[in-house]
């Protein structure tokens, strides 16, 4: 209620403002921060991988000799860089209006730099689990008024997205719908207008009066994640950095198509990583059949990777799967700790961390990453997983160590924003500053955070991807 009903009294009272700006956005990917970053150059980054020893061996010398030409099978991966840009504009009026705390909660330039950095981190985190096309989810089946199959330009619609896809978008994001991840035709162009839990209000954009027809299980991608052919205007190639979704695919039916210059269908477990599909695996028979436990699926994938010589040291899964995994373990392990003989017992719910092992392969780190598609999990040997980049990747780090909780305080970037930085093609090895368009409020400048590079798995045989029971969608 008001301090007073007297308007004169109210006119003499000030509004008290708490200093600073709070960060209400999602946390960033702990896995993206964990993997190593390496600087590269050149038109492509090539590496050789031996996938076969050949068949020139046997008790009969003549048989072995006749197969000598099969010895030492190798391929050369040709890693092509992807790219990512996060842009903001700024004018002198905004800068001068927020020079000190008297004018703004924080400097406008710092706020925009923080927002651009967060967009950069979260989109790159989504790319980590994709194949370069910006895929984030499948279009769900129509349910009531949600997920309509006909989308009219200029009329808002509500679609349902899983939480891991929500992590990759924000108000104003542009998304598209395609029949498949690498399909060369866009079926619908959408702009995100509102996000309420898993319900996303979108505005179809395009020619007035037109409408789009989409279907359940179509693929939703971030717009601007693929290159268009100049002549046909059809999608020609992915533009985002290729991530684990490309290197360790769960879709194993098109491995004959060259990936980074290598067709992988001849020995998928070596060239495309180990794969365990537990999405429909049950234990028991008939009425006694129950879904396979997540712990069993994890051990089976570790076993596959171990067989290939992996020294796996990291398991990654979605945070919802992590919670279900914890509940699964909780049913068989309940611990009570008595702190004193004079005190009542205290119980702890949940687990701080897990480890997993198969024989002598012991993996101490199981990381919950909300950007990882639900139902999908990875067993990784981090010696062979990296981000190869032409540019500085320092902005990936938000200051939160490892998988610890928390997120960056926007005020840590209050002094940034490059307000006095001269124009330049590349500044601090990741920024581009150029003159923007003239506006009624004076000249504006464009500032771009840029990254050129790709995720890489230099030894796919030592890493693997799996599906938990019930996995659907892009998992």
Which pLDDT tens digit goes with each residue over 278-308? 999 999 998 899 999 999 999 999 999 999 9
Inter-residue contact 117 to 395 (CB < 8 Å)? yes
Which pLDDT tens digit goes with each residue over 54-64? 778 878 788 87
Please tell me the predicted confidence (pLDDT) of residue 339.
Answer: 54
pTM: 0.88
Percent of the chain with pLDDT over 70: 91
Residue carrying structure tokens 């020294």? 311
Supply the mean pLDDT for the chain.
87
Token reading at 180: 């498949």
Please tell me the predicted confidence (pLDDT) of residue 128.
Answer: 96
pLDDT at 354 over 70: no
């Amino acid at each position: 209620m008001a301090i007073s009903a007297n308007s004169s009294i109210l006119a003499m009272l000030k509004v008290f403002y708490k200093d600073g700006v709070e960060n209400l956005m999602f946390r960033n990917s702990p896995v993206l921060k964990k993997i190593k970053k390496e600087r590269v150059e050149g038109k492509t980054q090539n590496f050789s991988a031996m996938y076969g020893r050949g068949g020139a061996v046997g008790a009969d010398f003549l048989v072995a000799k006749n197969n000598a030409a099969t010895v030492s099978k190798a391929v050369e991966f040709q890693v092509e860089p992807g790219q990512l840009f996060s842009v903001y504009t700024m004018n002198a009026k905004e800068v001068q209006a927020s020079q000190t705390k008297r004018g703004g909660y924080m400097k406008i330039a710092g706020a925009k730099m923080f927002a651009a950095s967060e967009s950069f981190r979260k989109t790159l985190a989504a790319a980590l689990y994709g194949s370069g096309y910006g895929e984030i989810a499948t279009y769900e089946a129509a349910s009531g008024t949600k997920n309509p199959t006909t989308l009219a330009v200029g009329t808002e619609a509500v679609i349902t997205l899983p939480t891991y896809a929500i992590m990759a978008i924000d108000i104003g994001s542009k998304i598209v719908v395609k029949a498949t991840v690498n399909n060369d035709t866009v079926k619908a162009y959408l702009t995100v207008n509102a996000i309420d839990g898993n319900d996303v209000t979108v505005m179809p954009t395009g020619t007035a009066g037109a409408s789009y027809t989409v279907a359940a299980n179509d693929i939703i991608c971030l717009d601007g994640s693929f290159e268009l052919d100049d002549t046909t205007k059809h999608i020609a190639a992915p533009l985002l950095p290729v991530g684990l979704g490309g290197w360790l695919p769960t879709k194993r039916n098109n491995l004959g198509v060259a990936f980074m210059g290598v067709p992988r269908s001849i020995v998928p477990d070596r060239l495309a990583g180990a794969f365990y599909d537990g999405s429909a695996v049950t234990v028991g028979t008939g009425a006694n059949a129950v879904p396979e436990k997540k712990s069993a699926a994890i051990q089976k994938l570790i076993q596959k990777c171990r067989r290939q010589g992996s020294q796996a040291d990291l398991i990654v899964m979605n945070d919802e799967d992590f919670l279900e995994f914890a509940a699964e373990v909780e049913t068989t392990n309940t611990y009570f700790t008595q702190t004193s003989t004079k005190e009542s017992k205290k119980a702890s719910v949940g687990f701080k961390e897990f480890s997993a092992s198969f024989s002598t392969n012991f993996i101490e780190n199981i990381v919950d990453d909300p950007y990882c598609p639900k139902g999908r999990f990875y067993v990784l040997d981090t010696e062979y997983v990296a981000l190869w980049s032409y540019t500085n990747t320092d902005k990936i780090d938000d200051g939160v160590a490892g998988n610890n909780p928390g997120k960056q305080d926007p005020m840590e970037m209050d002094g940034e924003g490059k307000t006095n930085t001269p124009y330049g093609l590349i500044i601090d090895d990741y920024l581009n500053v150029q003159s923007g368009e003239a506006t009624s409020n004076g000249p504006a400048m464009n500032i771009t955070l840029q990254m050129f590079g790709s995720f890489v798995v230099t030894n796919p045989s030592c890493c693997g991807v799996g599906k938990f029971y019930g996995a659907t969608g892009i998992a």
